[in-house]
Amino acid sequence: MSITAHNPLSDPRCPDLGGYPRLRDKAVRAAVDSDAAGPRPRLSLIAPVYNEVDNLQRLADQVREALEPGIDYELLLVDDGSVDGSTAGIEALAASDPRVRGIFFEHNCGQSAATAAGIRLSRGELVATIDADLQNDPKDLPAMVELLDRSGADSVVGYRLKRRDSLVRRISSRLANGIRNWISRDSIRDTGCSLKVFRAEAVRSLPFFNGVHRFLPTLLRYHGFEVLEHPVDHHPRVAGVSKYGVRNRALRAFLDLLAVRWMRSRIVELPVGRVTPPHGAGSEAR
């Protein structure tokens, strides 16, 4: 299945809504409502895609090998305005495998917007995110889902045991991770790892803004959800080029971090100490 969606975040053409993203197009909303009426898969795996045509088939194959037959899943490939043939590649995958769904933006708006659209259009009981560049390994997902089920936590996020990146990227990432945790007052080991699993109702309760994809675990903890961490593998990029550099994300990430810190200061904690049961609950319990 394929959906062409107006992107709700970043970019003047896709304004930040200051909350959970809505879909402007009535036809898209109708398609989403129709999908929601059907059976829900166990897991919705969201992969933002921007000019990753050479990785798409490998990604779909690796996801299938990792998840079937144990986990019923859908793979949502969110095309963030690609210009390299990724659009046609996603359409071909969606036509050949009913578990693959294509979501197509009308123009590029960034990873947070693509992630938000995937969450908005997902149908799974659980929602997971992964980069399309294959540096994260889908084979880690079953263990993360198992930990989520066993622990009762609301999210399990990966941390890369041995990064397969350049020395400059590893150093800058470690510094950025430390600064993020210091300012946000959190302790996530690897905020840059995209492999994450969430309970759908938890992640859908969060506010969305440009840059939010970096801070989903921290925001969950701010709102009282339990987040666990799990070691994952990391591989060198085999095709395509990275869309992020040290310079092009440092200032943007810092400003986003200040926004997250501000949000933390505005959260209202409800001092509820006791709740009476609804009528009839007491008699049923007895």
Structural domain spans, the chain: 2-267
Q: Which pLDDT band holds residue 15 (cuts at 50, 70, 90)?
A: very low
| Nearest by Cα to 163 from 129, 136, 182, 196 | 136
- Counting Cα atoms < 13 Å in the Cβ hemisphere of 142 gives 12
Query: Which phi and psi angles does 103 have, rounded to 5°?
Result: -125, 125
Tell me, what's the pLDDT at 238?
Answer: 74
More confident residue, 254 or 47: 47
Angstrom distances, CA of residue 215 to CA of 157, 202, 271, 285: 11, 14, 26, 40
More confident residue, 186 or 282: 186
Kindly tell me if the per-residue pLDDT of 30 is higher than 50: yes
Query: What would the mean pLDDT of 103-119 be, rounded to a whole number?
Result: 91
Domain 2-267 top-level CATH class:
alpha beta
Kindly tell me if the per-residue pLDDT of 237 is higher than 80: no
Query: What would the mean pLDDT of 192-215 be, rounded to a whole number?
Result: 89
Give this prediction's pTM: 0.76
More confident residue, 209 or 252: 209
Tell me, what's the pLDDT at 210?
Answer: 76
Mean per-residue pLDDT of the chain? 80
